[in-house]
Amino acid sequence: MERELALEFVRVTEAAALAAAPWMGKGDKEAADQAAVDAMRATFDTVNIKGRVVIGEGEKDEAPMLYIGEEIGGAESPELDIAVDPVEGTTLVAKGLPNSLAVVAAAKKGNLLNAPDMYMRKIAVGSEAKGAIDLKASPTENLEAIAEAKDQEVSDLTVILLDRPRHEEIIEEIREAGARIKMITDGDVAGGIATALPHTGVDMLIGIGGAPEGVLAAAALKCLGGEMQAQLHPRNDEETQRAIDMSGIDDINKVFTTDDLAKGEDVMFSVTGITNGELLRGVQYSGQKAETQSIVMRSKTGTVRTVKAEHKIKQKPSYFRDEVIKF
């Protein structure tokens, strides 16, 4: 990919964040998501790529735009796979909670796993513990391996996972092992990224979350030098067949590595904060201006940039879907 595309993708996530932010705390997650989708889709039309959505808002009959298979961009090359989550954590925006993000990942055509909208078992760590984890091992075994890799005690480690009933046994085992736990209500893309950023204090992500979110997190971890292992977790025969059809895998029990989820040497990831969080500051308003904070990464160079931008809002934010926020 062209180096200049990195900042173009920042514009895309900024647009989504700016569109969703006025809905913070309004209790309408669908409206926030729709505003972000509209803004992200419109901005993609100005980017000089020939993109194909592989992770998006759903199937064509479920989503009017940013649907899986949709072609986006304003040029004939480069041909890229695009994974999007215009609002990672719609409930977080609706309730005014931390860590809601606008996210885009990109790689050369055929390099991002076309993961279906279903569950996925995951484990992820940052660069210091890369090579130490094993999805098939117990949480205790993984914690001990991570502690050894980082020259720490298990009691020094912090694990992040979704606060769900399905994780009760994992939570109990982590506590018995002596590690600390940070439970989140939504947004395990942010949780995956947190393992690779030292200032978050998070050492491992574990548990069952969304498969599309797994691909997005893997793209970020590839840029940051971290590691993810994952396995699709279908709930019935229908989901099993859908997973096989969409992802092209022969073995539903396959354990995916970071490089399986996000292949190639040039993966790009951009994320902009919508609400304030540990990863990024959310959209801040001051008069007719709005400020955003983003991170953009590129695996080929290992470059990680934090982008702080000020946007002039030509029209005050509207809470009606048919009015566009211009910036």
The reply to whether 266 sits in an annotated binding site is: no
Q: Is 210 annotated as a binding residue?
A: yes
191 is in an annotated binding site: no
Q: Annotated binding residue at 156?
A: no
Q: Is 264 annotated as a binding residue?
A: no
Q: In whole angstroms, what is the distance from residue 191 CA to residue 174 CA?
A: 17
Would you say 85 is a known binding-site residue?
yes
- Is residue 80 within 8 Å of residue 108, measured between CB atoms? yes
**Per the annotation, does 317 bind a ligand?**
no
Contact between 215 and 55 under an 8 Å Cβ cutoff? The reply is: yes
Residues 6 or more apart whose Cβ sits within 8 Å of residue 59: 67, 68
88 assigned to a ligand binding site: yes
Annotated ligand binding at 187? The verdict is yes
The residue among 226, 250, 227 whose CA lies nearest residue 240 is 250
Asked if residue 285 belongs to a known ligand binding site, the reply is no
Q: Is 90 annotated as ligand-binding? A: yes
- Got the DSSP string for 8-37? HHHHHHHHHHHHHGGGTTSS-HHHHHHHHH
DSSP codes joined into one string, 118-157: SEEEEEEE-GGGTT---TTS-HHHHHHHHHHHTT--GGG-
Rounded Cα–Cα distance for residues 210 and 206 (Å): 12
164 in a labelled binding site:
yes
**Does the annotation place 4 within a ligand binding site?**
no
Known binding-site positions for Mn(2+): 33, 57, 85, 88, 213
The binding site consists of 33, 57, 85, 88-90, 119, 164-166, 186-188, 210, 213
Binding residues for substrate are: 88-90, 119, 164-166, 186-188, 210
